[in-house]
Amino acid sequence: MDSRPSATFLIPCLNEERTLGELLRECSDAFKGDTGVDWEVLVADNGSTDRSREIAREGGARVVEVMTRGYGAALGSGILNAETEWVVYADADGTYRPRDAVALVKMAVRQGADLVLGSRLAGEIEPGAMPWTHRYLGTPVLSWLIRSLYGVPITDCNSGIRCLRRESYLRWKLRSAGMEFASALLIQAANRGARILETPVVLRAGPPGRTPHLKSWRDGMRHLLVILAGAPWFFWYLGLALLAGSLVIAVPCIWGPFPVFGDVGLFGPHTLAVGTVVGFYGAMSFSMALLLYVSSPTRRPQPALSQFLTRLPEDVLFWALVFFSGTFLAGGGYLFWRWYLTNYGGLDFVRLALFCVYLTVIPMTLLLGIFQAHLWKRTQ
């Protein structure tokens, strides 16, 4: 019985007739010389209108047609259709070498990894192969965020060549259909406690005149959204810090202002206005964290306070809404009445007005965040 590990080299494809044939010839050369792994080549065609599918079959690849458009959709369907223990995927434009795929599989098997990334930044990048904005800005910043938020020891979160254990992938339940698939894969793997490794690879320059499918700013923002959506603790602690900072700013305003330099004073109405803005954004961040905590499981446990607020009894939530809505209306009505007494002239109670804003807007924003989290729970 053959005990060799089996692997699929998966190629997502959309109108790649210029490069696909040469890539398949490289695959044949690289995989025939690999006696330690039983290889298959699979092309996930994403609706090509050129000869890509015919070229793939002529080159000995199995073809699966993916009707849902998107890089992630093509890869997800390809992985599901693979019949091997391991899957290595790489772009169809020939920028990644099939022989690097051999190295990734051997590393995964040898070290028992669930996911092995090929790092371009730790390896070799040919001149013209990567725009400077990707090499020195986008990829390093996003990789740093993933390292910081998820503890994943990687340098190249956007690498287009990776090896994964198919059985592990099925447990991760990815849903990303676009280019953000790269970050979503890392985050889901990290949240499920997967063993993730990285090794250097070579990135070659693409063929001249080829229009890349990647849209830098749109897809970069999609990556950022995926990364932050999986890290509610970031918004939780940011919100707590901003709320605490707003209290530090606002409370001394009860007795201020205090002179600092000449006529310059602190902790007066202007300082209180700043504290209100800080508190408002803190409440918004706090609310986003609650919504994310009820949306999906995360690697870190949900804080006890967050659990309490998202599991608040519905009658308590109802009366809290009634109370703070009443307070908001009463405060607004009182301020309007005071303004009416001045015949709608200049306000001589600015500090009182700002305190009313602080004591109604910030608690109400927090409460609406809790209300939104409870609404979201009813949609699951």
Lowest-pLDDT choice from 17-31, 59-73, 314-328? 314-328
**What pLDDT digit, counting tens, does each position of 276-322 carry?**
999 999 999 999 999 999 887 676 788 899 989 988 898 998 998 89
Which range of residues forms the domain containing residue 370?
Answer: 232-377
User: Residue 7: is its pLDDT beyond 70?
Assistant: yes
Please name every residue paired with 13 in a beta bridge, in sequence order, or none if there are none: 45
Cα distance from N-terminal residue to C-terminal residue, the chain: 47
Give me the CATH number covering residue 143.
3.90.550.10
My answer on whether 237 and 224 are in the same domain is no
Buried b (16+ CB within 10 A) or exposed e, 303-334: beebeebbebeeeeeeebeeebeeebeebeee
pLDDT tens for 186-204 read 999 998 899 999 999 999 9
Instruction: Number of helices (H) and strands (E) in the chain: give both, helices first.
Output: 14, 9
**pLDDT given at position 173:** 86
Say if residue 220 is in the same domain as residue 338: no
Say what the pLDDT of residue 198 is: 96
pLDDT score at 87: 98
Do 212 and 264 share a domain, yes or no?
A: no
What pLDDT is stored for residue 294 in this prediction?
A: 87
Position 347 scores a pLDDT of 64
Residues 110 and 172 in one domain: yes
326 with 351, same domain?
yes
CB atoms within 10 A of CB 200: 15
So what's the pLDDT on residue 144?
Answer: 95
Split at pLDDT 50, 70, 90, the class of 2 is low
* Number of domains comprising the chain: 2
Q: What is the mean pLDDT of residues 32-45?
A: 91
* Segment 203-256, tens digit of pLDDT: 999 887 777 777 778 888 888 999 998 899 999 999 999 999 999 999 998 888
Report residue 179 as tokens: 């280019």
Residues 351 and 257 in one domain: yes
Claim to verify: residue 113 and residue 124 sit in the same structural domain: yes
Please tell me whether residues 146 and 269 are part of one structural domain: no
Q: Is 92 part of any domain? A: yes
The answer on 245 and 99 residing in a single domain is: no
In a domain, 1, yes or no: no
Q: Is there a single domain that holds both residue 238 and residue 214?
A: no
Q: How large a percentage of the chain has pLDDT more than 70?
A: 96
Helix H, strand E, coil C: the string for 93-114 is: CCCECHHHHHHHHHHHHHHCCC
* 252/268 same-domain check: yes
Q: What is the pLDDT of residues 113-154, one digit of tens each?
A: 999 999 999 999 999 899 999 999 999 999 999 999 998 889
